[in-house]
Structure 1
Amino acid sequence: MCNHASHERAHPIYCILPPHMLKEIAKKGTPQQRSLAIETLSADHTFRQIRSVQAAMIAPRRGVHPKPAAAPSAQRSIYTANNMETLPGTLVRSEGAPKSDDVAVDEAYDGLGATFDFYLKVFQRNSIDDAGMPLVGTVHYGVEYDNAFWNSQQMVFGDGDGSLFNRFTIALDVIGHELTHGVTEHAAALAYSGQSGALNESVSDVFGALIKQYALQQTASEADWLIGAGLLTSSVNGVALRSMKEPGTAYDDPVLGKDPQPADMAHYVQTAQDNHGVHINSGIPNRAFCLAALDLGGYAWEKAGRIWYETLNDTHLKPNVNFKTFAKLTVSNADRIFGAGSAESKAVSKAWDTVGVL
């Protein structure tokens, strides 16, 4: 139920499950699995149109920020769609309210809070828009809906089918990934197609992983560098949706197919599908970040994460940026932050060289 608009001025609905995975399920799954996958891929036209229009109406303009809130403070609201498709649904937990008796509600609440805390404490960013934007989440969307998405206004979580996918609130990095699409909208407005679209996806993976690592206080070497660990059920031959450390190895399953992500530019995938491969080729910049973080050691958000965050907010970063230009900007920001020829700068440059970008 996601409208992955390809025009750079359109504002897509960003889904965690890539279309290539859903298409595999639609071909190879059980009748029920195929039906659910086709339902997800074949969104109601009116629903997509409404979401697209709403997203365009409220989408941020780069460099234009609302008046900052007086004091940074999370403002979370969690709703339930009650297995319907109406958003936001019924309010079930607001900021400061005690835990509910619904695990999905509490996971969404905690995940939104962990993401807010990360951006505030690590980068002094006041919510998604850096101006105190309230964080809204809706759980129990649809019936056995196999996805989670950000629509420029809020997070939406399906319950999963229980056969291939668990509930989509289960993975903190998935929540961080989706909310980071909102950060990218406000900071860089990266076009959602080709290499700029793959960078858009990669930035969400990078900060989704860092949000999980920050919550667990894991160093780069302790982290699993997986996106969506715990989301796949035990019946699936796989460990996650993606591996940043080893792209292409996250799953190899009779129903889901094999993880198609390349690990370097020599295996870059030329395709018109998935907005020219935004979920596939994101493995290349993902691996570059992971290599740099592992090389630098310690907590990945302190050095590599800072470099990527500064690059995302760099006014030289254009919406249609390609891998090479983005890579050069990360090196430039490493030079600026840590000094030209610093260990940090060398690690970033070496990482991009290893994946064949520089």
Structure 2
Amino acid sequence: MTQMPQCTIVPPYILEALAASDEPAVAKHAREALQHDEHLRSTRRTPTARPTGRRAPRREDADGTHGTGPHRTISDAKGTQTTPGTKMRAEGEPASDDEAVNEAYDGLGATWQLWSAAYSRDSLDGKGMPLLATVHYGRNYDNAFWDGTQMVFGDGDGVIFERFTRSVDVIGHELAHGVTEHTAGLLYQGQSGALNESISDVFGVLVKQHQLDQSAEQADWLVGADLLNPSVKGRALRDMRNPGTAYDDPRLGKDPQPAHMDDFVDTDDDNGGVHINSGIPNRAFVLAALEIGGNAWEAAGSIWYAVVSGDGIRADCDFATFAGLTVTAAGSTHGDGSAEQAAVRSAWEQVGVLAPAGGPGDAGPAGAGGETGGPDRSTPVPSPGEGHGQAPSADAQVLLRRTGGFAGQVRERQVALGELPERDAKDWQHLLAAPTLQRIAASTERTHPDAYIYSVVCDEAGCNVTIQEPHLPEAIHSLFERTLADD
């Protein structure tokens, strides 16, 4: 398994602002944190991958018996930057005299409990992976991070940041990077990196909500609310419900997170804005959870988890792709057209990732395009009511042809929609009634000489288009391939 880049809870742009502070101690500790974090990032820049790791040993309690549950070990770096450090508390042992040790121990346990109780996941890798943490890392170190194998906590400078073990959602956030590493393996760059950060924020706050037994409506949706010193003018590091409002402090600056794709930040800093643009999918999750109601870790959290742990997500997934996958997952779990699916779709529409049904660009994403300059793979097959035309009848004939590729093979099928499986027939009717195919064909050029080319002709729907395979959204590509395979 390749290692994931170091993921810190305090983004570099906050530390950069503090490094310019006229308070010498604050500036010094921020500069040291920046230098340290950059060094770790530069030595851990390889992307993640779906691993095939070995099963961790069964937990052994302090009395020597084996059982199910977390397997925690908390160590003390004692002011050094060496991990793991001196072991201070192992699973089942009594509380330590060190408050940071106990906070880390309890936070790891609360995180394990959420994944186990809500998603039947045995630790981060699903195989009982031991949970390791090091406290008192460095001198007044202004950060906490997941290093690919364990949690690491600084004590903060005591002026801006308190010790980083205080916030259970921060612990849950960082450990969720471990889950992502063992599932979706999202690349820590640009939109996929912002999704990586957002997923950690989502499950980090769900750890806190689960521990406090808070409903979506009762929750504060703040990340790192316990980290900021009382002198700071702010509520937290991030506000998922209202991105861009978490803090406005002369030393920290103003929270730069956007809440909508209209304000998406294009930047080369912070791995392409992974901590900044994560505000957009963060708000989408909150909106979905509030609309669905109840406990957010149940319906909404399960939908997000299904996508993160499913086979459909790719390491370079962008916002629109992820949105489409959550809409599909909501339909799979709760039924197409269900209130839950409608809530998820509406949430992504409200943040501008999916365009409103029935409006211009209804089947595609709004705002920034694909992460890698490639196709928007997210666009689901349009739902009823999303098109601009009349859906063709069951008797309508569709000619689908696939040509090209390295071998130059041609596959072709002409079929009446009513001859297809009921779900595929409906998908074809919705697709042909919408302008989706025409828009894709008009907005893309032939950029992949050896790619397959799909041609779709349906006289009743007035459709005659040709599109290269790399430009097709995944849902439509799958529909085409199913149709050809049934011949």
TM-score surpassing 0.5? yes
- One-letter amino acid of the structure 2 residue matched with residue 52 of structure 1: R
- One-letter amino acid of the structure 2 residue matched with residue 16 of structure 1: I
Q: Which residue of 2 aligns with 1:6?
A: none
Structure 1: how far apart are the matches of 2:284 and 2:160? Answer: 30
Q: For residue 48 of structure 1, report the CA deviation from its aligned partner.
A: 5.9
- Residue 98 (1) aligns with residue 86 (2): no
CA deviations 1:235-273 (Å, max 9, x no partner) are 100010000000000000000000000000000001110
- One-letter amino acid of the structure 2 residue matched with residue 266 of structure 1: D
Q: Which residue of 2 aligns with 1:214?
A: 210
1:42-57 equivalence runs, <5 A = 42-43=35-36, 52=44
Of 12, 23, 33, the match for 2:5: 12
Q: Is the 8 A contact 1:72 1:126 kept in 2?
A: no
Q: Which residue of 1 aligns with 2:317?
A: 321
Structure 1: how far apart are the matches of 2:51 and 2:19? Answer: 42
Q: Secondary structure, in 3 states, of the residue corresponding to 1:113? A: helix
Q: Which residue of 1 aligns with 2:279?
A: 283
Q: Secondary structure, in 3 states, of the residue corresponding to 2:20? A: helix
Structure 1: how far apart are the matches of 2:283 and 2:336? Answer: 23
Two-structure CA RMSD over aligned residues (Å): 1.7
Q: Is the 8 A contact 2:6 2:40 kept in 1?
A: no
Structure 1: how far apart are the matches of 2:228 and 2:19? Answer: 17
Q: Which residue of 2 aligns with 1:3?
A: none
Structure 2: how far apart are the matches of 1:331 and 1:273? Answer: 31
Structure 1: how far apart are the matches of 2:160 and 2:22? Answer: 9
Q: Which residue of 1 aligns with 2:221?
A: 225
More helix by share: 1
Q: Which residue of 1 aligns with 2:122?
A: 126
Q: Is the 8 A contact 1:68 1:130 kept in 2?
A: no
Q: For residue 65 of structure 1, report the CA deviation from its aligned partner.
A: 4.3
More strand by share: 2
Structure 1: how far apart are the matches of 2:221 and 2:90? Answer: 32
CA deviations 1:204-263 (Å, max 9, x no partner) are 000001010000000000000000011100010001000000000000000000000000
- Residue 350 (1) aligns with residue 342 (2): no
- One-letter amino acid of the structure 2 residue matched with residue 248 of structure 1: G
1:72-151 equivalence runs, <5 A = 72-151=68-147
4+ runs deviating over 4 angstroms? 44-49, 68-71
Q: Is the 8 A contact 2:56 2:130 kept in 1?
A: no
Distance of aligned partners of 1:325 and 1:88 in 2 relative to their CA distance in 1, 3 Å threshold: same
- Residue 37 (1) aligns with residue 30 (2): yes
Structure 2: how far apart are the matches of 1:11 and 1:306? Answer: 24
Structure 2: how far apart are the matches of 1:42 and 1:16? Answer: 15
Of 247, 258, 262, the match for 1:262: 258
Structure 1: how far apart are the matches of 2:234 and 2:259? Answer: 18
Q: For residue 66 of structure 1, report the CA deviation from its aligned partner.
A: 2.6
Q: Which residue of 2 aligns with 1:160?
A: 156
Distance of aligned partners of 1:44 and 1:60 in 2 relative to their CA distance in 1, 3 Å threshold: closer
Structure 1: how far apart are the matches of 2:123 and 2:21? Answer: 41
Q: Secondary structure, in 3 states, of the residue corresponding to 2:294? A: coil
TM-score (norm 1): 0.93
Structure 2: how far apart are the matches of 1:232 and 1:60? Answer: 31
Q: Is the 8 A contact 2:193 2:271 kept in 1?
A: yes
CA deviations 1:262-304 (Å, max 9, x no partner) are 0000000011100110000000000000000001111001100
- One-letter amino acid of the structure 2 residue matched with residue 159 of structure 1: D
- One-letter amino acid of the structure 2 residue matched with residue 290 of structure 1: V
Structure 1: how far apart are the matches of 2:200 and 2:41? Answer: 22
Q: For residue 68 of structure 1, report the CA deviation from its aligned partner.
A: 6.8
Distance of aligned partners of 1:270 and 1:114 in 2 relative to their CA distance in 1, 3 Å threshold: same
Q: For residue 316 of structure 1, report the CA deviation from its aligned partner.
A: 1.1
- One-letter amino acid of the structure 2 residue matched with residue 43 of structure 1: H
Q: Secondary structure, in 3 states, of the residue corresponding to 2:180? A: helix
Q: Is the 8 A contact 1:174 1:228 kept in 2?
A: yes
Q: Which residue of 2 aligns with 1:22?
A: 15
Structure 2: how far apart are the matches of 1:295 and 1:143? Answer: 44
TM-score (norm 2): 0.69
Structure 1: how far apart are the matches of 2:106 and 2:121? Answer: 18
Q: Percent identity?
A: 55
Distance of aligned partners of 1:314 and 1:234 in 2 relative to their CA distance in 1, 3 Å threshold: same
Unaligned runs of 5+ in 2: 59-66, 355-487
Unaligned runs of 5+ in 1: 1-8
Q: Secondary structure, in 3 states, of the residue corresponding to 2:329? A: helix
- One-letter amino acid of the structure 2 residue matched with residue 299 of structure 1: N
Structure 2: how far apart are the matches of 1:236 and 1:324? Answer: 35
CA deviations 1:98-121 (Å, max 9, x no partner) are 011111000000000100111011
Structure 2: how far apart are the matches of 1:334 and 1:129? Answer: 24
Q: Secondary structure, in 3 states, of the residue corresponding to 2:44? A: helix
- One-letter amino acid of the structure 1 residue matched with residue 52 of structure 2: V
Q: Which has the higher contact order (CA 8 A, sep 6+)?
A: 1
The structure whose Rg is larger is: 2
Structure 2: how far apart are the matches of 1:108 and 1:227? Answer: 17
Q: Secondary structure, in 3 states, of the residue corresponding to 1:93? A: strand
